[in-house]
């Protein structure tokens, strides 16, 4: 458990490391004469080898400044200058003594920092995410096999790719072998055996099945299946350019356990037919706020946006979203990629009006009244356009809801058919629907509350400038987002993962939407033997994705088709990528040599050396001699490639302590693992081969930033620099922050990364990080901030001019503010410490041992008062003077990351340099105007540390701070900062 005060900083660690005195540096005579006596008099009594008060000892210091002692000396100086030590109740040095001591340290530090470091290259292993990306790029395998790897630890700077923290263990190395073996077995196939491929399609539509399943289908509690006649399942045989065996699903079953009423039943029973293997299921949370969640019509299944549960369990039922369509089935392939093709369209929909909507005035110009609705009627529309349909229940103008809002009669559902379109929903008042009507004759039918009919319906044409027509116009332009999900059915819900991204369904005509994935990346029921009718189900969910609840035309699903394993050629590309075309295929040894050379050179990210090639070929030969199995022996050799340090490690070999330029291949790898978090592509390797990468760096950086793989950098860097993992784990108090649901969080989580990406892609000034007119938002994020009316972008993040004085920049992003809370109360200490570390790179010291928790203080005090009490305790003031002033301005934002709108909030603060700020906006302005150099330095320091995979030395940090000032001339543009890092000695030299 980390207490709110357990801050880490570089120097406590270094102090512990400093326990052994370092030899080899010249001693300074001033030390013996002037400084050592002071240490002995004022410090050593508490800070010696035995006492080590606060974990610090100084008795061993000999006046030299080896690297490992630098932080300790820095710390001592800080204690002296701030007069924090010696403690008040101890004898104190004179002001003169303090000054002498502090000046001497400062001078010695400056000398020490200007020393040149030894540079002995680096060897670090790939992080889990680098390994995953590299394996995927190398093999073309979609299946992720790296789930077994333990997550990487984080360095003090917060980065997972720091060579010092990337540990190795037998367990990890064993996993590398297992993964390599699995991967090669998946890539290389027996080409002489035709693959078995499962293909089927479920067609949907009212009464389209002329031979429906005669049995009453039940699939457990609340199974909510579509009517048997509303769907058809057909097994298909697709056209392929190669021979294959179509998979036939099991259709004869014998089960002993089943379901009836609210109980399980036992007894063997036989079941027959495909409809006991594949079900069309709508089980989900019940009730839909507006209209019916789903409806089958002649053309297919209509779906409203699938409103997710706030949490998976607990808050609502566990059955999943509302409008939760799934194909539930017993069998899916156990390996390979799959493809789901959904035929879908945007429904030509009408807008259901909300409770309280007004009817159009009677006898409006052009209004058409339809009565006699106890039988079908036809109206003729002369003027095509937007109409409002007001529905009256009886001939008297009687409202369903009286003027006080009291229900006169419980509103019932109205089903209105206009032409071949259906609209149903609760009739709260006469104003029911806004809809676009074409010219010509239109059949009209209506049913109210089952069998009754309304007295009349009035269709009133709307002017374009009416509010309600504008709402309809916006509604009409929206496109439902089609999402496919795959996983398993639980008896109390489903565990599904989304397949790729949701796709916008823009057209009114039925079109095909293709979704692809690797089947084993998705949850599966793990069923072996099964005698229970209800168990072992896979599910393919097809949804209209919910964004923020804005009205959306319904999604029409015509059919859902599955094919898997999906191959576009045989043997598949993964196989051909390894067992390459060659004239030598008849000569095992020559062919093996070619295969190995090509593979190892790609895997090692440089040409394989003669020695390595010989070793690998030996492995192949030994295996081949023993087994006479070419594929097996090739797999053996390639497995060694995939478990060798040349593949698993990023190696910058050094021939001595002096600086050397990276060799071109080392540079290619360093660059690509920095900007892509994966291996260099062919172009980078070609440039390395011709030794022209160094001079092409500028062009290559531009190319790499524009490449889609750059997002892999953005995700990693944003997440680790800004500590977004805190937001992943914080438990939000749902009663206080009801809109901060599980789904909303996944969108807010992306805001920081999208912002960073946008600033870099547009090469905007760094100032936008702390102060900006823009936020990057999709509909969900915009809506969370109350800016829902400013976006129409679905799930896509777009720049939004927020026009809100309290937004803009990462400091006011919900993912950060909520992540730095306990889910209930805002926390200025967490926020302040985060800002000090991440934004201005002035990390606070670690707390001394045995500091009382802030929560232990008097509960009647306000937080600000508690902080003051806490801060005034001995041992606390020093750290907190570098934390609290940064955290207090954030108090205008609550633990959900939203502006408090509370005039009583006191967010004023006196910053360490005595600047007064009243709130976060003034703090942002302070950074943007007065301290931008510091913010830029902090960003660069973190970026360089990430780019080089190591913690920077004091020397490098000092150099960086000085050199970075040159970038100010061009407003610290984001791409300039990246180029600066790549062109620095820290990056280019080893």
Site for other proteins in 787-846 (CB under 8 A): none
Determine, following the binding rule CB under 8 A, whether residue 340 of this chain makes contact with other proteins: no
Residue closer to other proteins, measured from CB, 167 or 699: 167
Q: Measure the CA–CA gap between 93 and 81, rounded to whole angstroms.
A: 12
Is residue 663 within the footprint of other proteins (CB under 8 A)? no
Of 69 and 623, the one with the shorter C-beta distance to other proteins is 623
Least separation in angstroms between residue 641's CB and other proteins is 9
- Of 229-268, binders to other proteins (CB under 8 A) are 257, 263-264, 266
Strands 305-306 and 538-545: parallel
> In what helix (H) or strand (E) does residue 278 lie, and over which residues does it extend?
strand 278-281
Per CB under 8 A, contacts with other proteins among 131-160 are: 147-148
The answer to whether residue 473 forms part of the interface with other proteins (CB under 8 A) is no
Q: How far is CA 426 from CA 212, 430, 595, in A?
A: 31, 11, 67
Residue 190: Cβ within 10 Å count: 10
536 binds other proteins (CB under 8 A): yes
**CA angle, corner 98, sides to 94 and 101, nearest 5?**
135
DSSP letter, residue 59: T
φ, ψ for residue 704 (rounded to 5)?
-70, -35
Q: Which of 532, 601, 761, 975 binds other proteins (CB under 8 A)?
A: 532
Residue number with CB closer to other proteins (79 or 535): 535
Counting contacts by CB under 8 A, is residue 535 touching other proteins? Answer: yes
- According to CB under 8 A, which one of 4, 86, 121, 411 is a site residue for other proteins? 121
Instruction: Kindly tell me which residue out of 16, 38, 52, 123 binds other proteins, with binding defined by CB under 8 A.
Output: 123
Which of 603, 640, 667, 818 is in the footprint of other proteins by CB under 8 A?
640
| CB closer to other proteins, 880 vs 990 | 990
Q: Does the footprint of other proteins cover residue 185 (CB under 8 A)?
A: no
What minimum distance in Å lies between the beta carbon of 887 and other proteins?
28
Q: Tell me the C-alpha distance between 669 and 215, whole Å.
A: 62
The contacts found for 591-595 with CB under 8 angstroms, 24 or more apart, are 592/617, 592/620, 592/621, 592/624, 592/630, 592/633, 592/634, 592/637, 593/617, 595/634
For the residues of 107-132, what is the DSSP string, one character each? HHHHHHHTSPPP---EEEEPPHHHHH
Residues 186-205 contacting other proteins, CB under 8 A: none
Q: Are 843 and 9 in contact (CB under 8 A)?
A: yes
Query: Residue 937, interface with other proteins (CB under 8 A)?
Result: no
Q: Which is nearer to other proteins, 75 or 949 (CB)?
A: 949
Rank residues 27 and 286 by Cβ distance to other proteins and give the closer one. Answer: 286
User: How big is the CA angle at 523 (ends 643 and 718), to the nearest 5 degrees?
Assistant: 65
Q: Is 529 in the site for other proteins (CB under 8 A)?
A: yes
Q: How far is the CB of 989 from other proteins (least distance, A)?
A: 14
Q: Which stretch binds other proteins (CB under 8 A): 169-177, 464-472, 505-513, 821-829?
A: 169-177
Segment contacting other proteins (CB under 8 A): 10-18, 369-377, 487-495, 566-574? 487-495
Assigned token pair, 811: 């400091």
Site for other proteins in 580-619 (CB under 8 A): 611-612, 615, 619
Q: Which of 207, 452, 492, 514 binds other proteins (CB under 8 A)?
A: 492
C-alpha to C-alpha distance for 299 and 508, rounded to whole angstroms: 12
655 binds other proteins (CB under 8 A): yes
- Quick one: residue 308, left, alpha or beta (phi over 0 = left, psi -120 to 50 = alpha)? beta
Q: Which x/- pattern, by CB under 8 A, does the window 742-771 give for other proteins? A: x-----------------------------
Count Cα neighbours of 962 within 13 Å in the Cβ-side half-sphere. 7
Residue 74 sits in the site that holds other proteins (CB under 8 A): no
Asked whether position 699 contacts other proteins by CB under 8 A, the answer is: no
Does 495 sit near other proteins (CB under 8 A)? yes
Q: Is 962 helix (H, G, I), strand (E, B) or coil?
A: helix
* Neighbour-count burial for 434-461, b at 16+ CB within 10 Å, e otherwise: bbebeeeebebebbbbeeebbbbbbbbb
Exposure b/e, 630-639, CB count within 10 A at least 16 = b: bbebbbbbbb
In whole angstroms, the minimum distance from the beta carbon of 22 to other proteins comes to 18
Number of residues that bind other proteins (CB under 8 A): 74
639 binds other proteins (CB under 8 A): yes
Other C-beta atoms lying within 10 Å of the C-beta of residue 232? 19
Q: Does 296 bind other proteins (CB under 8 A)?
A: no
Given a contact cutoff of 8 angstroms between Cβ atoms, the answer to whether 650 and 123 are in contact is yes
Nearer to other proteins, 358 or 614 (CB): 614
Quick count: other Cβ atoms within 10 Å of Cβ 709?
A: 16
Question: Tokens standing for 390?
Answer: 């007001």
CA angle 208, 209, 211 (to 5 degrees): 155
652 binds other proteins (CB under 8 A): yes
Among 27, 83, 111, 174, binds other proteins (CB under 8 A): 174
Distance set, CA 482 to CA 153, 231, 422, 513, 557 (Å): 37, 20, 21, 8, 9
Which of 65, 159, 522, 954 is close enough to bind other proteins by CB under 8 A?
522
Q: Which of 64, 646, 762, 983 binds other proteins (CB under 8 A)?
A: 646
Given 645, 789, 916, 930, the residue binding other proteins (CB under 8 A): 645
Q: Which of 93, 525, 809, 889 binds other proteins (CB under 8 A)?
A: 525
CB closer to other proteins, 474 vs 619: 619
From residue 743, give the alpha-carbon distance in Å to each of 311, 546, 728, 795. 8, 10, 12, 12
**Which helix (H) or strand (E) segment is 729 a member of?**
helix 725-729
Subset of residues 308 to 327 that bind other proteins, contact rule: CB under 8 A: 311-314, 318
Q: How far apart are CA 279 and CA 257, in angstroms?
A: 18
Please say which residue, 753 or 936, places its beta carbon nearer to other proteins.
Answer: 753
125 binds other proteins (CB under 8 A): yes
* Site map (CB under 8 A) of other proteins, residues 710-749, x = contact: --------------------------------x-------
């Amino acid at each position: 458990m980390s207490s709110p005060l357990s801050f880490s900083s570089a120097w406590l660690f270094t102090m512990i490391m400093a326990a052994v005195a370092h030899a080899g540096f010249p001693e300074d005579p001033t030390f013996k004469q002037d400084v050592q006596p002071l240490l002995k008099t004022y410090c050593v009594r508490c800070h010696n080898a035995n006492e080590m008060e606060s974990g610090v000892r100084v008795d061993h210091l000999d006046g030299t400044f080896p690297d490992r002692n630098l932080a300790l000396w820095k710390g001592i100086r800080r204690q002296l200058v701030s007069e924090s030590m010696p403690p008040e109740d101890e004898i104190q040095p004179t002001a003169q003594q303090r000054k002498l001591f502090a000046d001497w340290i400062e001078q010695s530090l400056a000398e020490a920092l200007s020393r040149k470091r030894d540079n002995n290259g680096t060897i670090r292993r790939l992080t889990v995410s680098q390994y995953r990306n590299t394996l995927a790029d190398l093999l073309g395998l979609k299946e992720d096999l790296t789930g077994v790897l333990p997550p990487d630890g984080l360095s003090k700077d917060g980065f997972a790719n720091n060579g010092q923290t990337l540990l190795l263990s037998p367990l990890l190395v064993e996993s590398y072998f297992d993964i390599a073996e699995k991967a090669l077995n998946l890539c290389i196939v027996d080409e002489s055996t035709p693959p078995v491929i499962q293909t089927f399609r479920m067609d949907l539509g009212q009464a389209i099945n002329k031979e429906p399943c005669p049995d009453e289908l039940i699939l457990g509690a609340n199974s909510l299946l579509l009517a048997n006649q509303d769907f058809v399942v057909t097994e298909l045989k697709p056209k392929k350019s190669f021979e294959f065996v179509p998979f036939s699903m099991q259709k004869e079953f014998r089960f002993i356990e089943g379901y009836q009423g609210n109980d399980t039943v036992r007894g063997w029973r036989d079941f027959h037919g495909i409809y006991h293997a594949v079900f069309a299921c709508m089980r989900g949370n019940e009730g839909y706020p507006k209209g019916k969640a789903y409806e089958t019509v002649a053309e297919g299944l209509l779906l409203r946006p699938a409103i997710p549960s706030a949490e998976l369990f607990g808050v609502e039922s566990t059955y999943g979203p509302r409008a939760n369509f799934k194909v539930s089935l017993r069998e899916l392939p156990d390996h390979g990629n799959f493809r789901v093709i959904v035929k879908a369209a945007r429904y030509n929909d009408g807008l259901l009006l909300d409770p309280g909507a007004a009817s159009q005035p009677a006898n409006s110009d052009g209004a058409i009244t339809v009565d006699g609705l106890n039988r079908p009627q036809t109206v003729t529309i002369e003027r095509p356009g937007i109409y409002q349909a007001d529905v009256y229940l009886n001939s008297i103008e009687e409202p369903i809801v009286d003027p006080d809002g009291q229900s006169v009669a419980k509103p019932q559902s109205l089903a209105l058919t206009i032409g071949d379109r259906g609209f149903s929903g609760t009739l709260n008042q006469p104003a029911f629907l806004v809809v676009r009507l074409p010219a010509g004759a239109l059949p009209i039918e209506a049913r109210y509350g089952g069998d009754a009919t309304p007295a009349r319906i009035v269709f009133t044409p709307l002017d374009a400038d009416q509010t309600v027509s504008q709402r309809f116009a916006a509604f009409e332009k929206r496109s439902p987002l089609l999402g496919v999900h795959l996983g398993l059915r639980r008896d109390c819900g489903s565990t599904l993962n989304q397949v790729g991204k949701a796709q916008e369904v823009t057209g009114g005509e039925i079109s095909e939407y293709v979704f692809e994935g690797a089947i084993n990346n998705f949850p599966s029921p793990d069923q072996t033997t099964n005698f229970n009718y209800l168990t072992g189900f896979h599910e393919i969910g097809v949804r209209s994705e919910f964004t923020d609840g804005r009205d959306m035309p319904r999604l029409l699903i015509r059919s859902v088709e599955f094919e898997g394993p999906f191959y576009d050629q045989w043997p598949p590309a993964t196989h051909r990528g390894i067992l390459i075309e060659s004239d030598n295929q008849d000569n095992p040894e020559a062919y093996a040599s070619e295969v190995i050379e090509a593979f190892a050179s790609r895997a090692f990210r440089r040409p394989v050396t003669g020695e390595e090639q010989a070793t690998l070929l030996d492995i192949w030969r030994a295996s081949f001699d023993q087994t006479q199995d070419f594929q097996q022996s090739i797999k053996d050799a390639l497995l060694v490639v995939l478990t060798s340090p040349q593949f698993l490690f990023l190696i910058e070999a050094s021939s001595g302590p002096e600086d050397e330029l990276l060799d071109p291949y080392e540079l290619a790898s360093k660059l690509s693992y920095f900007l892509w978090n994966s291996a260099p592509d062919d172009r980078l390797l070609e440039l390395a081969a011709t030794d022209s990468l160094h001079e092409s760096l500028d062009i290559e950086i531009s190319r790499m930033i524009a490449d889609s793989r750059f997002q892999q950098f953005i995700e990693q860097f944003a997440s680790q620099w800004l500590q977004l993992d805190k937001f992943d784990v914080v438990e939000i108090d749902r009663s206080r922050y009801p809109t901060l649901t599980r789904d909303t969080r996944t969108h807010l989580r992306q805001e920081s990364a999208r912002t960073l990406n946008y600033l870099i892609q547009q090469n905007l000034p760094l100032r936008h990080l702390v102060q900006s007119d823009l936020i990057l938002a999709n509909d969900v994020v915009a809506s969370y901030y109350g800016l829902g009316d400013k976006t129409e972008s679905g799930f896509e993040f777009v720049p939004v001019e927020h026009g809100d004085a309290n937004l803009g920049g990462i400091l006011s992003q919900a993912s950060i503010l909520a992540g730095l809370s306990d889910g209930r109360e805002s926390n200025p200490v967490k926020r302040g410490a985060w800002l000090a570390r991440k934004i201005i790179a002035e990390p606070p010291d670690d707390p001394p041992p045995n500091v009382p928790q802030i929560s232990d203080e008097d509960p009647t005090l306000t937080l600000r008062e508690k902080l003051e009490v806490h801060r005034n305790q001995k041992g606390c003031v020093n750290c907190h003077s570098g934390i609290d002033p940064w955290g207090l301005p954030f108090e205008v934002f609550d633990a959900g990351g939203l502006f408090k709108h509370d005039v009583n909030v006191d967010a004023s603060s006196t910053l360490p340099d005595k600047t007064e700020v009243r709130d976060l906006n003034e703090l942002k302005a302070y950074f943007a105007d007065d301290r931008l150099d510091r913010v830029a330095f902090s960003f660069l320091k973190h970026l360089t540390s990430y780019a080089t995979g190591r913690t920077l030395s004091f020397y490098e940090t000092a150099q960086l701070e000085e050199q970075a000032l040159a970038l100010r001339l061009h407003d610290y543009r984001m791409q300039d900062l990246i180029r600066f890092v790549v062109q620095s000695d820290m990056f280019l030299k080893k």
